[in-house]
């Protein structure tokens, strides 16, 4: 029993001696506890750990760290939107045959400019001409009969009912003449609008069915562009906004127009809004159906931009070190967007502020710094003097 106790005391003594001589700071721990040993290493002054509070909170305040800084610049985002749209003519008409018949001639060619009312094509109208002439003779005869009947009615030679019948016959004859003239007019196809003729889809000499397409006429004095805008821009859109349009087929050329129509609802699937712009096209350079790049300018949002090397993280989030009056100050910086040349942040920073990019690991709040390169060097020198 006594032997075991002796062995235990020896082991404890050896362990205590090993802790005292091998563990750094062990003498200091005993000294703070009020235990002073007549032997062993002397206690050494501990270095502060840099933790908040007490002596630790003063870590680094007595020394100057060498750092490199970069200035804060302001960057704007969401100020430009480029999207793809498709051009369409301001007005477009498909010219069709109003009645069936033999096509005798086409008086226009593809690409030709026509005015409203210009003749596009003519159909065989021999039967309609005969019907018109017959209706004309009948109308003339009915008119002459009406005149005679009126003269006789004034002399009380005929009854009033005979005059009414003559008037009715005259009205019917005139209506029949108008019907015949309308049928004859429809044998001539005219352009309802001014514009450019498209491909001719029929050939003279063929029988063409009623409502068959003959050609198209596009009014391209201006081009309408339909394009989709992301939902986040919906509140910034307004009729009259300027847009710039460019076409792959016309490199280097930019056409300017204005927003004319904004859809009343956002597409639930794509979360986008349909917008239409009107682009003047007096020289005819743009064609209907072209794929067009549409660019719109918005006020955008401005944020401070810092060097990516300046961003650090803590339990509270991302932050940067700013040099103020020759000392390091931590500034919380919420990341908004990462770009290749900088990081946009939401932070209490102003243009030109000196942000530390090198020498970050040994910094603490309020520590004096020596700026080796970058803005803020004059402040640091003043602090040292």
Confidence of residue 47 (pLDDT cuts 50, 70, 90): very low
Report the CATH number of the 82-89+216-301 domain.
2.40.30.170
The whole-number average pLDDT for the span 126-147 is 92
- What is the pLDDT, as a whole number, of residue 57? 42
Query: Would you tell me which CATH number, out of the four given (2.40.420.20, 3.40.30.10, 2.102.10.10, 3.40.50.2000), belongs to the domain 57-75+302-384?
Result: 2.40.420.20
Rg over alpha carbons for the chain, rounded to the nearest Å, is 47
Crossing angle of helices 160-185 and 126-154, in 10° steps, is: 160
pLDDT of residue 98: 87
* Predicted pLDDT of residue 166: 87
The per-residue pLDDT for range 244-274, each reduced to its tens digit, is: 999 988 998 999 999 999 999 999 999 999 9
Residue 284: the pLDDT is 85
Query: Cβ distance 262 to 275 under 8 Å?
Result: yes
Sign of CA dihedral 43, 45, 46, 47: negative
Domain ranges of the chain: 2-46, 57-75+302-384, 82-89+216-301, 93-213
Q: What is d(CA 213, CA 208) in angstroms, rounded to the nearest whole number?
A: 9
Residue with tokens 């794929």: 291
User: Which among 351, 283, 344, 354 has a CA at the least distance from the CA of 78?
Assistant: 344
SS3 track for the chain: CHHHHHHHHHHHHHHHHHHHHHCCCHHHHHHHCCCCCCCCCCCCCCCCCCCCCHHHHHCCCCCEEEEEEEECEEEEECCEEEEEEEEEEEEEEEEECCCCEEEEEECCCCCCEECCCCEEEEECCHHHHHHHHHHHHHHHHHHHHHHHHHHHHHCCCCCHHHHHHHHHHHHHHHHHHHHHHHHHHCCEEECCCCEEECCCCCCCCCEECCCCEEEEEEEEEEEEEEEEEEHHHHHHCCCCCEEEEEECCEEEEEEEEEEEEEEEEEECCCCEEEEEEEEECCCCCCCCCCEEEEEEECCCEEEEEECHHHCEEECCEEEEEEEECCEEEEEECEEEEECCCCEEEECCCCCCCEEEEECCCCCCCCCEEEEEECCCHHHHHHHHC
Q: What's the longest Cα–Cα distance across the chain?
A: 169
With a pLDDT cut of 90, the percent of the chain lying above it is: 57
pLDDT band with cut points at 50, 70 and 90 for residue 37: low
Across the range 101-130, mean pLDDT stands at 92
Fold designation for 93-213: OB fold (Dihydrolipoamide Acetyltransferase, E2P) (2.40.50)
Lowest mean per-residue pLDDT among 97-106, 122-131, 153-162, 351-360: 153-162
Q: Where residue 162 falls among pLDDT bands split at 50, 70, 90?
A: confident
Of the candidate ranges 58-62, 98-102, 277-281, 334-338, the one whose mean pLDDT is the lowest: 58-62
pLDDT band at 18 (very low <50, low <70, confident <90, very high): low
Find how far residue 262's CA is from the centre of its chain: 13
Burial class, 202, CB count within 10 angstroms (exposed 0-12 / middle 13-18 / buried 19+): middle
pLDDT digits (tens, 9 = 90+) for 285-331: 998 889 999 999 988 889 999 999 999 998 899 999 999 988 999 99
Yes or no: say if 79 and 300 are a contact pair by the CB < 8 Å rule: yes
Predicted confidence at residue 301, as pLDDT, reads 84
């Amino acid at each position: 029993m006594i032997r075991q106790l002796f062995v235990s005391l020896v082991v404890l003594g050896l362990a205590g001696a090993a802790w005292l001589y091998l563990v750094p700071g062990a003498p200091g721990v005993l000294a703070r506890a009020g235990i002073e040993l007549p032997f062993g290493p002397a206690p050494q002054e501990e270095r502060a750990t840099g933790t908040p509070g007490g002596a630790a909170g003063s870590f680094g305040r007595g020394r100057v760290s060498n750092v490199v800084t970069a200035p804060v610049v302001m960057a704007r985002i969401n100020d430009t939107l480029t999207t793809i749209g498709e051009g369409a003519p301001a007005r477009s008409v498909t010219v069709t045959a109003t009645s069936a018949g033999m096509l005798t001639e086409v008086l226009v060619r593809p690409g030709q400019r026509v005015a409203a009312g210009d003749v596009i094509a003519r159909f065989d109208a021999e039967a309609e001409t005969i019907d018109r002439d017959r209706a004309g003779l009948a109308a003339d005869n009915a008119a002459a009969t009406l005149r005679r009947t009126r003269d006789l009615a004034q002399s009380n030679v005929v009854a009033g009912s005979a005059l009414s019948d003559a008037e009715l016959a005259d009205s019917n004859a005139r209506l029949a003449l108008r019907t015949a003239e309308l049928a004859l007019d429809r044998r001539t196809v005219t352009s309802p609008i001014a514009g450019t003729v498209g491909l001719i889809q029929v050939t003279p000499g063929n029988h063409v069915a009623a409502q068959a397409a003959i050609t198209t006429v596009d009014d391209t004095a201006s081009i309408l562009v339909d394009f989709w805008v992301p939902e986040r821009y919906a509140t910034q859109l307004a009729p009259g906004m300027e847009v710039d349009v460019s076409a792959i087929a016309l490199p280097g050329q930019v056409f300017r127009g204005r927003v004319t129509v904004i859809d009343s609802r956002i597409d639930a699937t794509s979360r986008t809004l349909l917008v239409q712009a009107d682009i003047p096209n007096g020289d005819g350079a743009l064609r209907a159906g072209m794929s067009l790049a549409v660019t719109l300018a918005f006020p955008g949002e401005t944020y401070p931009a810092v060097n990516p090397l300046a961003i650090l993280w803590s339990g509270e989030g991302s932050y940067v070190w700013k040099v103020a009056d020759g000392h390091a100050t931590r500034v919380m910086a919420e990341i908004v967007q990462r770009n290749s040349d900088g990081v946009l942040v939401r932070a209490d920073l102003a243009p030109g502020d000196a942000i530390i990019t090198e020498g970050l690991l040994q910094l603490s709040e309020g520590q004096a710094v020596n700026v080796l390169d970058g803005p803020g060097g004059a402040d640091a020198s003043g602090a040292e003097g």
